[in-house]
Structure 1
Amino acid sequence: MIRISTIFIAICMVLVAASLGLVLHAVAGFSGTDSAIVALTALTFLILYNAVSMRLRDRSDVGGQIADLSRGTADLARQVAEFGRRLAAVEGRMVSANSAGSDRIQAVLGEINELGGLVKQLAISVASHEDLLASGAAAPPAPSGRPHSEPQVEPAITPEPAAPAARPAPVAAAKPAPSAEATPPSRNQPQLLAAVKNAVEESRLDIYLQPMVTLPQRKVRFYEAVTRLRDDKDQILVADDFIPTAEAGGLIGRIDHMVMLRCIQVLRRLMVRNKDVGVFCNVSAATLGNPVNFAQCLDFLEANRALAPSFVLEFKQAAFRHLGPTEIENLAALSQRGYRFSIDHVTDLRIEPRDLADRGVRFIKVPAALLLDPKQSSTSDIHPSDLSDLLGRFGIDLIAEKIEGERAVVDLLDYDVRFGQGFLFAPPRPLRPEGASATGGATANKESGTPNGSSNTVPIAGPAAESPMRATGNAALARRAAGPG
């Protein structure tokens, strides 16, 4: 647009100068040379005038732009000043908030220190009282003059009255009663096989229950069914003694089926009082590999499929690692029916939680001594303190078994172990007869003529067993809070 106007002005100036020269030549009588000189002179003046006017106009435009720029700069400066004022106000508020927060933190720290001193004093007092109670309980009891209400101090489900107070817990708890866990006389293999066969045929199979408790609350959550056989002389055969012989003699399938039947009956009795309780039932890998025995067990478990969420089938770690194709297929059939599995007899912490979770394993029982062994951190792929968190990511709960001392419980709490099992809480005890009531422990003792707490048919879950044990655990925690001093 600018170029067109400039060309138009130039053409107009040439025309004006040429017209002036023609008028002077035609009207005034100027010669052609004079007329041309006058025309060129006029054209020169016109060009100079146009240049000067354009320069003045450009200067006025630049002045306007400078004025606009100055106004924009002033607006920007005002905005920057406003932002600076707001930023200073925010900084002031932050400083005041930080000062107020530090004052509150100091006040809270002061209160925490005061509470820490009070808790330490309370811990020392509780520990001293617990030591006094322990020393009183460790004294030999009177043979016949004890009042009937004294079992409130000594748990009713412990193997013998002096077991909770004895400091060497592993030795005292490992021998519940001479009549119940007496070591049978040595037998050779044929004699032992004959004794096992007679016991199975005559249904001399007893189920003992050992509770699994939550930590640190020590609330009974599960029971493990422990199998015992009685020979013709009523001598007890523990599982470690007769299971290898039963597997070699082809009797383990019948034993597992009988145990499952008893466990289902026990579970139904337990769920009448508590819907959240569960039962662990040990199953041999030989039963999984035998088509006839497994089909019989599968039919029975299929008929009791409604109890699958509370009925856990337990296998040994060594057997679970060496499952064949048939065993794996049968295990998958149980998992499809909703049954969950547990791994016990763990000898090392080389565990693949993803593979176990895919096969339906939801519990792993590790001995407390193995978890607390400092050598395991160097021989295993994971530190024992991180094992519970790793298993929890795959939906597997860690159960610490064979707990025999309060010190182990305190250390296991640092490992985030949720469940515990062992003689510290209760040894395996035989089932009460079917007709006994849920709180008939004292009545059963009175009818049998035995002293308090010495009857073989004890309650499945004695309520009185939890209170003294909980008090002992609190005392151990109190000692730990008090520290060495």
Structure 2
Amino acid sequence: MIRISTIFIAICMVLVAASLGLILYSMAGISGSESAIVALTALTFLILYNAVSMRLRDRTDVGGQIADLSRGTADLARQVAEFGRRLAAVEGRVVSANSAGADRIQAVVGEINELGSLVKQLATTVATHEDQLAAASAATPPAARPEHDPPKPLPDEDRSVVLPPTVVAPKAVTTNSAPSHSQTQVLAAVRNAVEENRIDIYLQPMVTLPQRKVRFYEAVTRLRDERDQILAAEDFIAVAEVAGLIGRIDHMVMLRCVQVLRRLLVRNKDVGVFCNVAAATLASTATFSQCLDFLEANRALAPSLVLEFKQATFRNLGPTEIEHLAALAQRGYRFSIDHVTDLRIEPRELADRGVRYIKVPAALLLDPKQTSTSDIHPSDLSDLLGRFGIDLIAERIEGERAVVDLLDYDVRFGQGFLFAPPRPLRPEGASANGGAPSTKGQESRIAESEAASVEVAAIDLPARASGNAALARRLGGPG
């Protein structure tokens, strides 16, 4: 748009030119045409003068703007240079910090590797001493040997697991094994033990490696006949399955496991109990329904109660067993597999069915023949199972040398007589019997189990100690 000043100047120039022409016409006596020519000529000069003056003024303004722009550009360049110097300083500090952190990490890794080497050397030394003691014991004359070897003491981390005398069956402890029984005698003993509630629970700890802290307990079932002689599981399981009594036994064992687990969780929230379940119980709809009702009522304990099945059971699952496993998994219960006879394992399929633990005998893991017979090297089994959320537990560990080899296999948990044998545990005054609760009497049965759980003997877990502290205690000796 044309500015008002420009319009005003144009009007003034027209007035000046017209006034000049009028003056010449009226006072100088010049004709009208000549006066008009003079007026137009004056107007033209005025227009040219105004145009030239405006051009010079605009040129002066553009020069000032260019100078201002140059000063702004220079200021911006100085600021960019300052930011560049600051960024370079920050990058230098970051590089220095990363270098220092890498040095610290390398130092820590070196210390950890050195500590691992010391632990392995210590374990090797202990294994050598054990072999020497075994050789010395073998050279001892038979008359100088005791009739029965005393129970092996627990490691330092597990010596606080002491059962009061009120919960140990004296005759069961002193009687190591029952004499040979016929099938009829075993069946009669099993029936009487179930009817008279002579079912004992033995607890064997599972420890972390190499710290040897107690993480789980396995509930091992034992029956006592009328003379309080012990029947191990391998002696009566087959007979009980044929007689249809295994379901009642499993139900009673589940009840005892829940009682023990409740008492353990009062002292340590990170402990768990493994409870064995027979294949016949899983396959029987009636028996499983009773067990499922009880587990449903105690589903708050599902994260800490692990149900254990044999490898053969998982390899021969039928539609009924699959449905029952799915019902347990839906209620939050996790599974474990034991009695593993080979390492042909499909971890993805097992994880989908709810398996979170696999117990493999240490001898099987360390057997060189497994390298050629299995699809994976035993040393890689722990990592493979870990990718699917399954922990590998090495069981039946009886020597320190096996522990050293298992550490190279990255096995995190161990179980065996090296750490602690199964110890008897039996509630005093508990009215827990093997009768399967009916749906109507479920509340009273749960209340009864709660009352019985209060009378289960306290099991003190070992004090928490770091691997370095345990190593220091072993190096210091018994003193």
Q: TM-score, normalised by structure 1?
A: 0.61
**Where do 1:101-112 residues align within 5 Å?**
101=100, 105=103
| Contact in 2 for aligned 1:343/1:364 (Cα 8 Å) | yes
Is the Cα contact below 8 Å between 1:195 and 1:232 reproduced in 2?
A: no
Q: 1:267 to 1:53 in 2, by over 3 A?
A: closer
| Corresponding residue of 1:467 | none
2:347 to 345, 348, 351: 351
Structure 1 residue 421, shift from structure 2 partner: 1.7
* Candidates 380, 386, 394, aligned match of 1:389: 386
1:403 equivalent in alignment to 2:397: yes
CA, structure 1 residues 268+56, in 2 after alignment: closer, same or farther (shift >3 Å)?
Answer: closer
Shift of 1:283: 1.4
Deviation at 1:29, TM superposition (A): 1.8
Structure 1 residue 216, shift from structure 2 partner? 1.6
How far apart, CA to CA, are the structure 2 residues paired with 1:292 and 1:107? Answer: 59
SS of the residue 1:314 aligns to: strand
3-state SS of paired residue (1:76): helix
* 1:11 Cα deviation after fit: 4.6
Greater shift after overlay, 32-41 or 298-307?
298-307
Q: Does the CA-based 8 Å contact 1:270-1:277 persist in structure 2?
A: yes
Deviation sequence 1:195-238 (CA, Å, 0-9, x none) = 44223223286765543222222234433344466899999876
Sort the Cα spacing of 1:89 and 1:300 in 2 relative to 1 into closer, same or farther, 3 A. closer
Letter in 2 for 1:224: E
- The AA in structure 2 aligned to 1:365 is K
Q: Secondary structure at the match of 1:431?
A: strand
Change (3 A) 1:46 1:281: closer
Query: Structure 1 residue 432: deviation in Å?
Result: 7.2
Q: Find the partner of 1:198 among 188, 193, 198.
A: 188
SS in 2 for 1:29: coil
Q: For residues 56 and 90 of structure 2, what CA distance do their matches in structure 1 show?
A: 51
Q: Which residue of 2 aligns with 1:51?
A: 51
* 1:56 aligned partner, one-letter code: L
Q: Where in structure 2 are the equivalents of 1:465-484 lying within 5 Å? A: none
2:177 to 169, 172, 180: 180
Task: Give 1:350 deviation, angstroms.
Answer: 0.6
Residues 1:329 and 1:38: Cα distance change in structure 2 (over 3 Å): same
Residue-by-residue CA offset, 1:346-380 (whole Å, 9 max, x unaligned): 443212365234xxx55332444565654688459
Aligned residue type for 2:383: D
Residues 377, 384 of structure 1: 8 Å contact kept: no
Residue in 2 that maps onto 1:63: 63
Q: Per-residue deviation at 1:92?
A: 7.1
Judge conservation of contact 1:377–1:383 (CA < 8 Å) in 2. no
Ranges in structure 1 where 5+ consecutive residues have no aligned partner: 159-176, 186-190, 436-459, 465-469, 479-485
Partner of 1:431: 424
| SS of residue in 1 equivalent to 2:75 | helix
Change (3 A) 1:60 1:179: closer
Among 214, 218, 229, the residue aligned to 1:224? 218
1:144–1:292 CA distance, 2 compared to 1 (3 A):
same
Within the alignment, does 1:27 sit opposite 2:43 as a pair?
no
- CA distance in 1: counterparts of 2:90 and 2:257, whole angstroms: 69
Per-residue deviation at 1:24? 2.0
Q: Distance in 1 between matches of 2:211 and 2:22?
A: 124
Q: Secondary structure at the match of 1:202?
A: helix
Seen in structure 2, the aligned counterparts of structure 1 residues 48 and 89 have a Cα distance that, compared at 3 Å, is: same
Indicate yes or no: 2:278 matched with 1:284: yes
Partner residue, 2:438: none
Note the alpha carbon deviations across 1:138-190, whole angstroms, 9 max, x for none: 2134556579xx96xx82489xxxxxxxxxxxxxxxxxx997399x69xxxxx
Equivalent pairs, count: 409
- The 1:362/1:64 distance shift into structure 2, 3 A limit, reads same
Q: 1:87 to 1:237 in 2, by over 3 A?
A: closer
CA distance in 2, matches of 1:9, 1:74: 40
Counting only pairs closer than 5 Å after superposition, residues 144-293 of structure 1 correspond to structure 2 as 155-156=152-153, 180=177, 192=183, 194-203=184-193, 209-227=203-221, 239=233, 243-244=237-238, 246-257=240-251, 259-260=253-254, 278-293=272-287
Matched, 1:420 2:414: yes
Q: How does 1:2-41 map to 2 (within 5 A)?
A: 2=2, 5-41=5-41
Q: Distance in 1 between matches of 2:29 and 2:83?
A: 79
Per-residue deviation, residues 65-98 of structure 1 (Å, max 9, x unmatched): 2332343244335434544654576577678x56
RMSD of aligned Cα (Å): 5.5
- Matched residue of 2:347: which SS? coil
User: After superposition, what is the alpha-carbon deviation per residue over 1:251-304, rounded to whole angstroms, capped at 9, x for unaligned?
Assistant: 432443454466567768988998876543321232233244335545666787
Q: 2:309 aligns with which of 315, 328, 331?
A: 315
Mapped contact 1:199–1:231 kept (Cα < 8 A): yes
Report the CA distance shift for 1:19/1:323 in structure 2 as closer, same or farther (over 3 A).
Answer: same
Conserved? CA contact 1:376–1:384, under 8 Å = no
Alpha-carbon displacement from aligned partner over 1:375-412 (angstroms, at most 9, x marks no partner): 688459x95242453344xxx54422243554443344
Alpha-carbon distance between aligned partners in 2 of 1:82 and 1:272, rounded to the nearest angstrom: 64
SS of the aligned residue for 2:387 comes to helix
Q: Report the residue type matching 2:212 in the other structure.
A: R
Q: How does 1:113-128 map to 2 (within 5 A)?
A: none
Question: Is the contact made by 1:196 and 1:229 (CA closer than 8 Å) also made in structure 2?
Answer: no
Q: Which residue identity is paired with 1:32?
A: G
